Amino acid sequence: MINATQVRKGMIIKIEDALYKVLETSHITPGKGQALMQTKLRRLKDQSLHEFRFRSKERVEQVYLETMEMEYLYAEGSEHVFMNTETYDQMKLSEEVLGTGIHYLIPNVVFSIEMYEGKPVGVNPPMTIELRVENTAPYLKGATQSASNKPATLETGLTLNVPQFLKEGDLIRIDTREDKYLERVKS
């Protein structure tokens, strides 16, 4: 247990049997009364955002997660099968645990799985991933060249804005942290 004033961005804390990742903290000292820690948290189970305010004297349970590298193999119904890259053990993860990571499920891609007490609580895809454009509007000749983007649906169902010159079938590299187009991959 740590004091609420020791809570920092990036920590994992436990509140009422739920795990939260600290996204933002600010120490508030009102003119009258006790100091407070205002926090913005993301619940690991369902990726929902929450704001909590702790009094400075409150104690918070800090949690340490175990991370392991696991390779995505295939989908089996609504579950997805991953293999530990060291022990070759397989594990099925539900779409609820995967959260937004479901948009990056390509066979043979290695993910970082966060575990708490032997149970998976979070999935982190690699920082960049290459996906094929499945559907996008055709290139408009004579359209403005400066900073004009168009929506594109990728092979995993993810939709994001891409430059006008991309066409269906192109392989692109995206930043998984921001769902942002980086570059076209030369094949």
What gap in Å lies between CA 95 and CA 78, rounded to an integer? 7
Per the CATH hierarchy, to which homologous superfamily does domain 128-184 belong?
Answer: Nucleic acid-binding proteins (2.40.50.140)
Q: Is pTM beyond 0.75 here?
A: no
What gap in Å lies between CA 6 and CA 37, rounded to an integer? 9
**Strand 149-154 vs strand 2-3: parallel, antiparallel, or unpaired?**
unpaired
Would you state the pLDDT for residue 71?
A: 92
Tell the residue number behind the tokens 């994992």, with chain if given. Answer: 12
Spell out the domain ranges in the chain: 2-63, 66-124, 128-184
- Smallest CA-to-CA distance from 90 within 70, 112, 64, 66 is with 70
Q: What is the DSSP string of the chain?
A: -EEGGG--TT-EEEETTEEEEEEEEEEE--SSS--EEEEEEEETTT--EEEEEEETT-EEEEE--EEEEEEEEEEETTEEEEEETTT--EEEEEHHHHGGGGGG--TT-EEEEEEETTEEEEEE--SEEEEEEEEEPPP-TT---SS-EEEEEETTS-EEEEETT--TT-EEEEETTTTEEEEEPP-
Would you state the pLDDT for residue 144?
A: 56
Fold of 66-124: OB fold (Dihydrolipoamide Acetyltransferase, E2P) (2.40.50)
- Per-residue confidence in pLDDT tens, the chain, 187 aa: 888 778 888 788 888 888 888 888 888 888 787 888 888 888 877 777 889 888 878 888 888 888 899 999 998 888 899 999 899 999 998 887 787 788 888 899 999 888 888 888 878 889 999 999 998 888 666 655 555 788 889 988 889 988 888 888 899 999 888 888 999 888 6
CA–centroid distance for 85 within its chain: 21
Report domain 2-63's class. mainly beta
Q: Do domains 2-63 and 128-184 have the same CATH topology?
A: no
Q: What is the DSSP string of 70-103?
A: EEEEEEETTEEEEEETTT--EEEEEHHHHGGGGG
32 Cβ contact list (under 8 Å, min separation 6): none
